[in-house]
Amino acid sequence: MAASGKAQADGRRAIFITGAASGIGLATARRFAAGGWFVGLADIDAKGLAAALEAIGAENGMTCALDVRHRSGWKRELAAFAARTEGRLDVLVNNAGVARGGYLETQSPDEVDLQVDVNLKGVLNGCQAAFDLLCATSGSMVVNVASVAGVIAAPRMAVYAATKFAVRGLSEALEGEFARVGVGVRCIMPWFIDTPLLDKARFSGNEDLRVSLRSEKVPIYPVEEVSEAVWAAVHGKPSLHHLVGRQARQIGWLNRLAPGFVRRRLRRQAEAL
């Protein structure tokens, strides 16, 4: 249930971030707290949440023990958050995510279910649970963190890419749906970012994703690029899609210009693995 920190929002704008104990979520929390916002830090990592609250300042937020797969947890933690913010929820950031690499046939049913449940169902749960609070807050917004894997699906990332394509599609649909109640929607699609996820995901065998990317000379961007993109998306960049990282923007442009070339390149990549 909602945990440490008894600070009140005191009229400040309020943001609720999932996956906030590390990586993109923590960087985003730091950015918004520095900008004067009250931050709801939501995660399953209790120790990480305590450290995150200390990092942003206890007066700037609160921690929420939340597994995004559970609708009851969403209802409970958002209610606790709203009690601190006088019912405000200016921005919901659906950031929590997991990745498991490898060929589809090598992934266990549990690995497949985990990615679908956290990366997609967790976002759906958040958008539904937060709807009333968002509607009650003028100028509110949902920010869904997808991935460049929601634009280009690489070999050995089939399930992860499927969830991120789904989040991208969900965001596009919700942009139209939520407009009728005055709630904005943004979709953030980063390239590979320097977060703990790179150390937990595997392309194959025992080699973590970070090692694989370095061996293949794939660029990895600092997490602050994403937090700044979220800040910009909330503060005036009106477009729905926000590709983060030079490589992401390049591949997005190339995919629009020559999708067949990109697909052939990915097939050759798979054959070479």
Q: Provide the β-strand partners of residue 242.
A: 188
Distance CA 80, CA 255 (A): 43
Give buried/exposed letters for 93-120 (b at 16+ CB in 10 A, else e): bbbbbbbbbbeeeebeeebbebbbbbbb
Distance CA 73, CA 42 (A): 10
Residues 272, 155: contact at Cβ < 8 Å? no
Distance CA 69, CA 122 (A): 5
Residue 136: both structure tokens together: 């009650």
Residues 29, 61: contact at Cβ < 8 Å? yes
Distance CA 106, CA 102 (A): 6
**Residues designated as active site:** 160
Per this entry, what is the length of the chain? 273
Please name which of 194, 195, 186, 198 lies closest in space to residue 243, comparing C-alpha atoms: 186
